[in-house]
Amino acid sequence: MPSYIMKNNQANARILVSQAVAADAPAVMELLVGTATWLKSKGSTQWSALLSGDDHHDVTGHIDKGELFLFKDGDVLAGIVLLMQVPGDWDHGLWGKEGHESIVYLHRLAINREYAGQGLGEDIVRWAEEGVSFPGKDRIRLDCIANNAKLNAFYSGLGYTYKGTSPSGFCLYEKFYS
């Protein structure tokens, strides 16, 4: 199980944060498939494998490892984020094989569409920076598809430094935190 210290169990006044457990997997997958459906309606193929039942990112495995966090408004799953202390093959492919020791990787930020436009995405990212800490880690890295200008502007607007674009078309971002 990853080691972390939860400093704050709220993302905002309404949204409580908790670590996902195995019983949360169906709700998490429903949220991810809903997000993939919404992305498809916007003309994006991001996360489209989920629409055919392919979870090659192994969300349930990340839940079992204690890396997935839930953001709930009462009983409603409003959002999720995956915070990995050990890089996966994807991260090695984007960032190289070396220099991962002090990094937390942020993946699979997803918002229930009923909470879209309310600043929850920013609240989740800020919580990942300030509401939880990981011993020995001082940076968060993330990636997003290069052709999504709005998403790239979102991360840049939150103070993430653009570190380049991978040959596979993903913009790389990093931010130091305390």
Domain range for 128: 5-137
Which of 46-55, 68-77, 111-120 has the lowest average pLDDT? 46-55
Instruction: List, for residues 52-99, the tens digit of each pLDDT value.
Output: 989 888 989 999 999 999 999 999 999 999 999 999 999 999 999 999
Mean pLDDT across 101-110: 97
CATH number at residue 26: 3.40.630.30
Assess if residue 167 is contained within a domain. Answer: no
| pLDDT for 1 | 55
Let me know if residue 112 belongs to a domain: yes
In a domain, residue 158? The reply is no
How many angstroms separate the CA atoms of 86 and 7, rounded?
21
Is the dihedral angle over the CA atoms 109, 170, 66, 133 positive or is it negative? Answer: negative
Tell which residue, 74, 154, 160, has the closest CA to residue 121: 154
Name the burial class of residue 52, with classes exposed (0-12), middle (13-18) and buried (19+) by CB atoms within 10 angstroms of its CB. Answer: exposed
Query: Residue 177 falls within a domain, yes or no?
Result: no
Residue 129 included in any domain:
yes
Q: Which two tokens stand for residue 119?
A: 């600043």
Residue 132 counted as domain residue:
yes
Residue 64 lies in a domain: yes
Give pLDDT, residue 23.
97
Q: Which residues contact 105 (CB under 8 A, 6 or more apart)?
A: 82, 83, 84, 85, 87, 88, 91, 140, 141, 142
pLDDT at 2 over 80: no
> Whole-model pTM?
0.95
User: Structural domain tally of the chain?
Assistant: 1
Residue 147 lies in a domain: no
Per the listing, tokens 């995405």 go with 121
